[in-house]
């Protein structure tokens, strides 16, 4: 039993052991494959994870760079550094126009905590009291999308300091120049003016804007979130503008304007112009313009802003007889002693020529005609000259063309071409009607006679920066002999003729009166009893150092009464100021 039992278990054990080994072998193969699969799955998942993490990292890095760039842009600003605008000086270096340092206050609206309240506080600090201006500031500061707004331009530094003391986020200031004119309105029409950004808009400020302006600089700065400057990244310094020195003498200019103001009042006129000129160099020592209402700043009265001496055109009247008689002498048509029998009036075509004061028939020499400013005598000489001669001499004296003074808007005057002459032109033109001139053109014509027949281009500017403008541009118009003869006749006109109110004790003054009928607006004839009264004088008569013109517009008075006294006062002051001996 026992042996049998033992014998049966062996085969069972052998077969059972093989099955278990087979089972284990099969189970072992399946386990290895599962492990490898799981490892591969884990590897794949890890790779995906790394890719996702890497992508997020790259995206984060990119986002960080963008955020850094945005933050930098929000905190970095490029600021313009305005250049100092050059000064405008008179011939002696006296300041006529200068740059005055001021402060401009600005704000970053979106940084303000309470824009409406902050606007009120800023207006109080800056003393902005007008309701309209306060509303404008409030409107700019409540704009949350705005990154920059001006609160106040060019204010006193003390007011800007008070505004900054409020310590409002995003509120700052920078230096900005304001154009100032130390002599107030003196020579205003010559100097001109600038805009809010210091760009020249009129006069010398406009003509030499590029030289005066200089070159602006710039700087890049970093600000904190409150808008305060932390540091400067880079900076380019501005280049200051050049100074412009004029030929004007501030003392003579001031005197001329003061005399004109009184002349306008006393002659019941609308306006007046004066020019003081050196006939040898062409330098303009004074160029004054005055209206009855006065000058109250640019942008307030266009009529008072005009530089009438250069821009306005008018019929010159009797002062133009200098051109007629100078031309007749130069052509040999007459001499100073040539005499004419002149009736009280002269009627040609449909025009009757009268004298300024009634008289009978007289015998006048050419010198007498100029001395007593005879209209009949001037027309008589002009008819002998004829159209071609008159046109030749008007051209020779520079009428119908700009003088070349280099002032914006200079008028050329009007001289009718030969084909445009009417039958009465030969009557009107010799006595200074039917043509249009500027006051400066007449001053240049008289300076030609004063300078022994040499015409000199007028000059207003003597130096720009280091560039000196001292070249005298001249050419001969008359012989010195003819010029001296004309001066001699003009001397008699002041000594005992129509210009006696221009006499100066101790000096010999030569000059000529003019009374021209004022043309109506639109050119439809002449205003009755309203004139452009003028006088031009030169002294000392033997070798003139100054030529002075005064033209008074819209007066019922004649040139000898309204303009001659004004020339006398301006000339007397100029001679003494320039230390010209009697």
CATH assignment of the domain containing 390: 3.40.710.10
- Domain match, 234 and 254 both: no
Q: What is the CATH number of the domain that holds 137?
A: 3.90.1310.10
Residue 506 lies in a domain: yes
Structure token digits, residue 521: 């607006």
Return the pLDDT at 25.
46
- Segment holding 351, helix H or strand E: strand 351-353
- Domain match, 211 and 98 both: yes
Whether the bond between 540 and the residue before it is cis, its omega within 30 degrees of 0, is yes
Do the bridges between strand 339-342 and strand 362-365 make them parallel or antiparallel, or are there none, so unpaired? antiparallel
- Domain match, 373 and 278 both: yes
- Segment holding 218, helix H or strand E: strand 217-223
Contact present, 174 and 187 (Cβ < 8 Å): no
Return the pLDDT at 22.
41
Number of domains in the chain: 3
Return the pLDDT at 12.
45
- Domain match, 225 and 277 both: no
Task: Select which of 318, 447, 534, 574 is catalytic.
Answer: 318
Query: In residues, how long is the chain?
Result: 582
Return the pLDDT at 21.
47
Residue 70 lies in a domain: no
Which stretches of 76-167 are DSSP H helices?
115-125, 131-141, 157-164
- Domain match, 473 and 545 both: yes
Nearest to 332 by CA among 481, 444, 449: 481
Structure token digits, residue 359: 């008289």
- Which residue in this structure is represented by tokens 């009465």? 424
Residue 185 lies in a domain: yes
Do the bridges between strand 244-246 and strand 88-89 make them parallel or antiparallel, or are there none, so unpaired? parallel
- Domain match, 292 and 162 both: no
- Which residue in this structure is represented by tokens 């300078």? 451
Q: What is the DSSP letter of 314?
A: B
Residue 67 lies in a domain: no
Return the pLDDT at 355.
92
- Domain match, 266 and 206 both: no
What phi-psi label fits residue 482: left (phi over 0), alpha (psi between -120 and 50 degrees) or beta? alpha
Contact present, 576 and 514 (Cβ < 8 Å): no
- Domain match, 401 and 549 both: yes
Residue 446 lies in a domain: yes
Residue 411 lies in a domain: yes
Query: Three-state DSSP class for 150?
Result: strand
- Domain match, 273 and 214 both: no
CA–CA–CA angle 94, 95, 101 (5° rounding): 150
- Domain match, 142 and 99 both: yes
Q: Which residues of 404-434 are buried (b: 16+ CB within 10 A; e: fewer)?
A: ebbbbebbbbebbeeeebeeebbbbbbbbbb
Residue 326 lies in a domain: yes
- Domain match, 291 and 148 both: no
Active-site residue flag, 318: yes
What is the maximum span of the chain, computed from C-alpha positions, in angstroms? Answer: 195
Per-residue pLDDT of the chain (582 residues; tens, 9 = 90+): 444 444 444 444 444 444 444 444 444 444 555 666 677 776 767 676 666 666 665 555 555 555 555 455 456 767 677 889 999 999 999 999 999 999 999 998 988 999 999 999 999 999 999 999 999 999 999 988 788 899 999 999 999 999 999 999 989 888 889 999 999 899 999 999 999 889 999 999 999 999 999 998 887 867 666 556 667 788 888 899 999 999 999 999 999 999 999 999 999 999 999 999 999 999 999 999 999 999 988 888 888 999 999 999 999 999 999 999 999 999 999 999 999 999 999 998 888 999 988 999 999 999 999 999 999 999 999 999 999 999 999 999 999 999 999 899 999 999 999 999 998 999 999 999 999 999 999 999 999 999 999 999 999 999 999 999 999 999 999 999 999 999 999 999 999 999 999 999 999 999 999 999 888 777 667 888 999 999 999 999 999 999 999 999 999 999 999 999 999 999 999 999 999 998
**Helix then strand then coil, % of the chain, to nearest 5:** 45, 25, 35
Query: Three-state DSSP class for 46?
Result: helix
Structure token digits, residue 275: 């020019």
Return the pLDDT at 200.
95
Residue 26 lies in a domain: yes
- Segment holding 553, helix H or strand E: strand 546-555
- Domain match, 161 and 182 both: yes
- Domain extent for 172: 79-245
Record the pTM. 0.83
């Amino acid at each position: 039993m026992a042996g049998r039992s033992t014998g049966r278990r062996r085969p069972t054990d052998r077969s059972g052991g093989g099955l278990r080994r087979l089972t284990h072998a099969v189970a072992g193969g399946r386990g290895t494959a599962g492990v490898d699969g799981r490892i591969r799955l884990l590897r794949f998942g890890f790779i995906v994870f790394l890719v996702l993490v890497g992508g997020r990292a790259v995206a984060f890095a990119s986002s960080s760079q963008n955020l850094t760039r945005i933050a930098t842009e929000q905190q970095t600003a490029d600021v313009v550094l305005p250049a100092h605008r050059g000064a405008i000086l008179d011939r002696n270096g006296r300041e006529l126009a200068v740059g005055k340092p001021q402060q401009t206050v600005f704000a970053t609206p979106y940084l303000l905590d309470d824009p409406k309240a902050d606007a009120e506080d800023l207006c109080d600090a800056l003393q902005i009291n007008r309701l309209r201006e306060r509303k404008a500031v409030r409107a700019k500061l409540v704009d949350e999308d705005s990154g920059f707004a001006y609160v106040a331009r060019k204010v006193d530094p003390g007011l800007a300091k008070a505004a900054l003391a409020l310590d409002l986020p995003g509120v700052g200031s920078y230096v900005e120049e304001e154009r100032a004119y130390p002599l107030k309105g003196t020579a205003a029409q010559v100097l001109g003016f600038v805009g809010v950004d210091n760009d020249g808009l009129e006069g010398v400020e406009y003509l030499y804007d590029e030289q005066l302006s200089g070159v602006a600089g710039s700087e890049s700065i970093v600000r904190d979130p409150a808008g305060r400057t932390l540091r400067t990244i880079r900076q380019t310094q501005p280049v200051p503008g050049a100074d412009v020195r004029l030929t004007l003498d501030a003392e003579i200019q001031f005197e001329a304007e003061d005399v004109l103001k009184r002349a306008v009042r006393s002659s019941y006129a609308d306006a007046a112009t004066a020019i003081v000129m050196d006939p040898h160099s062409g330098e303009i020592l004074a160029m004054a313009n005055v209206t009855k209402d006065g000058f109250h700043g640019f942008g307030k009265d266009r009529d008072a802003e005009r530089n009438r001496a250069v821009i306005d055109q008018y019929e010159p009247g009797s002062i133009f007889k200098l051109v007629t008689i100078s031309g007749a002498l130069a052509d040999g048509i007459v001499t100073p002693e040539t005499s004419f029998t002149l009736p009280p009036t002269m009627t040609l075509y449909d025009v009757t020529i009268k004298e300024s004061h009634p008289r009978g028939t007289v015998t006048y020499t050419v010198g007498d005609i100029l001395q007593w400013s005879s209209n009949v005598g001037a027309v008589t000489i002009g008819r002998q000259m004829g159209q071609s001669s008159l046109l030749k001499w008007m051209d020779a004296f520079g009428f119908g063309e700009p003088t070349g003074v280099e002032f914006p808007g200079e008028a050329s005057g009007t001289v009718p071409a030969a084909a445009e002459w009417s039958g009465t032109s030969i009557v009107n033109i010799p006595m200074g009607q039917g043509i249009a001139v500027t006051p400066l053109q007449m001053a240049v014509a008289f300076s030609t006679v004063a300078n022994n027949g040499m015409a000199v281009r007028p000059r207003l500017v003597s130096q720009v920066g280091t560039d000196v403008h001292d070249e005298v541009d001249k050419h001969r118009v008359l012989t010195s002999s003819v010029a001296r003869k004309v001066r001699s006749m003009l001397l008699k006109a002041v000594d005992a003729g129509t210009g006696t109110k221009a006499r100066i004790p101790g000096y010999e003054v030569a000059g000529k009166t003019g009374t021209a009928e004022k043309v109506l607006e639109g050119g439809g004839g002449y205003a009755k009893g309203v004139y452009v009264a003028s006088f031009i004088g030169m002294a000392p008569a033997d070798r003139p150092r100054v030529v002075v013109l005064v033209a008074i517009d819209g007066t019922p008075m004649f040139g000898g009464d309204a303009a001659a006294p004004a020339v006398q006062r301006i000339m007397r002051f100029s001679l003494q100021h320039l230390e010209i001996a009697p």
